[in-house]
Structures are given as C-alpha cells and as structure tokens.
C-alpha cells in the first residue's frame, strides 16, 4: 500500500480542504490519505474552534483515511519546528509524498530549499543576527536566491516542509507536491457568496451563523457543528483572565522557566500585566510586541504561559515524538496494519496512566485546559483519557 501525507489543522474542515484531499489522492494515486493534524491548540497560539475529535470526524467524512495528532510541542511552534514535527511523523508512517497547498505552486520548493539550506548553514551572519526573526533571515536568503521575498503563509510552510525533509535526511524517501490553492486566500475574513471555498479564518469568524449560511462552504455535518459557535469560551473572556492571574501571581523567576519567555520577555510581560487591566488579548499583544519578535511568536508565548509549558518540558517533548491515532476508516486501519512492523515511534490508541505522566504529559495538560474552557452546552468529556480512535464506516 502507498500513502500520501497531509499536514493540517482543519480549523475547521471546509471545501478547500476537501479539494486538497481529493487532489492529493488523484495526483499521487495513493491507496491511503494520512493526515497529521494539530490537536486542540493551533500554530498561532489559539484554541481550535472545535476540539480534535470533532475535527477528526469531519476529516474522515471528507475522505481522509487516517488522522494522527501532531503533539503540542510541535503544533504550537514557528513554521520550521511545526514542519519538522509533522514531516517526522509522516516519515515514520511510511508516507512517500506530502501534498500541500501553496499560493505559488509553480515554485520548486525543494530545489530552492536546498540552496537556501546550504547558504544558511554556511552563514555566520545568520547564526549570530539576533535582531531578526528566523523567518526574516530565511526570507533574506530566499530573496537573494530568487529575487523576491516569499510572503504568503502556505508558500512559507512549503519551504519549511522542504527544509525539514533535508534536515531529517529524508531526501529520496519523501517527495513534496504543491497544489495551487483555490479561490479564498489564507487571511480572508469575509465569506464570499459567489464561491464555495472560504478561508478557515472567515469560517471561524462566522461560527454561530445558521447552517444554511455555512453549508455552502463545508459539509452539512460541519456546518451544523460550526453553527453552534466555538466550542470554548471566547479568548478574551476566561482565557485572558486566567492568563493575567497566572502572570500576576508568578514571580519573574518562575515565568522565566516558561518556554521561550526569555531575553527579558518575562519581565516585560509581568510589568504589562501589573500595570494595566487588559480587555482583549489583541490589546495585550499590541503592547507586548517588538521589532525582534513577531506577533505570532508572542501569541504562542502567551499560550505557553497559560498552559505552564516549561523550557525543560518542551525540549523533552520535542525529543519524544509519538503517533497518537485520533481516527481511521477501514482503509486507514488496513494501512496501519500494513506498516505495523515498519514504524519506530510509539503508537498510542488508548491513553494510559503512564502516558499522561510521561510521553503525553503536555498534550494531556493542554486537553484538560481545553476541557476546562469548553462551553457548558458541549460535551464535557476528558479530551484524552478514556478515548479511543474514531472509526468511520464508509
């Protein structure tokens, strides 16, 4: 059996994702579609609009055969670490091709990444220039190679996937296949009545609207789920209050133990939290941001604080990847059986007491916090313990 891999968040799953699944299978002729999907928190440092179980069910309905969770230590990271974790899992799952959407699918992502990777590895300036973000320095090199900057989000992720393949020594084992994104752009905030494809951003903003308004852009099942509104309380309510409580009651020395809350960021965040009563996360980020750190980077830092993710814990988790199976259909089950003797990483179907104390400690904590902020009209079941993979019968 041959599998094609997708790297996803499905926040939420919509018609653009459906096209991605169908095209991935068409262009590769794969027997199985395997998706690595972020769990309850996504790359920009925010809770997902639906939990990982609802999003898994929608992905299976949309044609994915196997859904595996990307651990939070990788999922809530800048592009290069997000990509590295996802590519690592797909490689262990014996995926031969990764298909991803791109704003400029005509680009030779692997070829340019090879040139950029060699340049970055030899560049002492890149290694020592702490006044620029990783993304900015990476783009400086790309601009020097091709004459323009790579600005579009999915193009940047495409280069990150290519770099991950190189860094993990997977050239010749995994190929990359970009496909052109259809219609809606990544940051579009409005639903376009003249198309059936909307951005995930626009759909999240439209959560709570009627099924009839939403089903143009996603399955009826998905539209029904999204019409109920976001699964967790709004970020500017209990989440923000809890964050400010954590910052105000924790000494700076304690905050400095949080992952990436270094180089004076702990002092700065504590000073801001004690000086002003913020009403929105956006306002806090406006004051917290700087030239050195992107808004997304600092948004992730706030989540690390809220989830109490320490430097030691995250670095340990980055070195202990695993395969958490969230869902499968009969093809996905058959594929897992087919590769059973080839995978090297631990495979988790049912979370054990030992798992939540060791390899899954961060994801278990994240699940408990997501459950804590889940609105009362939604299922209040634990996110991890007592759960088994969803089985979708076609």
17 is in an annotated binding site: yes
63 is in an annotated binding site: no
11 is in an annotated binding site: yes
Q: What are phi and psi of 67, to 5 degrees?
A: -120, 125
154 is in an annotated binding site: yes
181 is in an annotated binding site: yes
Query: DSSP strand E in the chain: where?
Result: 3-8, 32-38, 66-70, 97-102, 175-180, 323-329, 347-348, 390-392
80 is in an annotated binding site: no
106 is in an annotated binding site: no
**The two three-digit tokens of residue 245, written as one number:** 């409580």
Q: What are phi and psi of 113, to 5 degrees?
A: -65, -35
Buried b (16+ CB within 10 A) or exposed e, 36-72: bbbbbbbbebbbbbbbbbbbbbbbbbbbbbbbbbbbb
**The two three-digit tokens of residue 231, written as one number:** 């699964």
**The two three-digit tokens of residue 285, written as one number:** 């980020």
9 is in an annotated binding site: yes
13 is in an annotated binding site: yes
208 is in an annotated binding site: no
Is there a cis peptide before residue 12, judged by omega within 30 degrees of 0?
Answer: yes
20 is in an annotated binding site: yes
Binding site, annotated residues: 7-20, 101, 154, 181
Binding site, annotated residues for ATP: 7-20, 101, 154, 181
């Amino acid at each position: 059996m041959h599998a094609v891999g997708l790297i996803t968040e499905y926040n939420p799953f919509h018609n653009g994702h459906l096209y991605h699944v169908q095209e991935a299978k068409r262009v590769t002729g794969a027997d199985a579609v395997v998706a690595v999907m972020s769990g309850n928190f996504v790359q920009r440092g925010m809770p997902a609009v639906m939990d990982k179980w609802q999003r898994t069910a929608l992905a299976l309905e949309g044609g994915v055969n196997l859904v595996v969770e990307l651990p939070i230590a990788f999922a809530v990271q800048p592009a290069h670490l997000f990509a590295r974790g996802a590519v690592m899992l797909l490689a262990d799952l014996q995926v031969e091709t990764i298909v991803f959407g791109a704003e400029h699918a005509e680009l030779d992502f692997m070829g340019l990444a090879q040139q950029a990777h060699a340049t970055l590895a030899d560049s002492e300036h890149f290694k020592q220039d702490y006044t620029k973000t990783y993304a900015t320095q990476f783009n400086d090199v790309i601009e020097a190679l091709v004459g323009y900057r790579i600005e579009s989000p999915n193009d940047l992720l495409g280069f990150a996937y290519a770099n991950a393949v190189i860094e993990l020594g997977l050239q010749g084992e995994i190929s990359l296949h970009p496909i052109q994104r259809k219609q809606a752009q990544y940051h579009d905030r409005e639903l376009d009545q003249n198309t059936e494809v909307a951005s995930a951003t626009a759909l999240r903003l439209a959560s709570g609207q009627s099924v009839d308004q939403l089903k143009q852009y996603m399955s009826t099942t998905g539209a029904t789920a999204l019409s109920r509104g976001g699964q967790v309380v709004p970020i500017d309510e209990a989440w923000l209050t809890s964050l400010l409580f954590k910052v105000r009651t924790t000494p700076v020395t304690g905050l400095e133990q949080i992952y990436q809350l270094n180089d004076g960021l702990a002092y700065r965040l504590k000073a801001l939290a004690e000086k002003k009563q913020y009403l929105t996360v956006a306002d806090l980020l406006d004051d917290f941001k700087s030239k050195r750190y992107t808004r997304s980077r600092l948004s992730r830092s706030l989540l690390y604080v809220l989830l109490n993710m320490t430097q030691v814990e995250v670095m340990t988790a980055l070195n202990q990847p695993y395969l958490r199976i969230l869902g499968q259909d009969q093809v996905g089950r058959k594929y897992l059986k087919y590769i059973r003797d080839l995978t090297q990483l631990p495979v988790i179907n049912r979370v054990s007491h030992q798992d939540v104390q060791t390899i899954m400690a961060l994801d278990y904590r994240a699940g408990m916090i997501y459950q804590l902020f889940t609105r009362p009209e939604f299922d209040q079941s634990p996110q991890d313990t007592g759960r088994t993979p969803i089985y979708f019968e076609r």
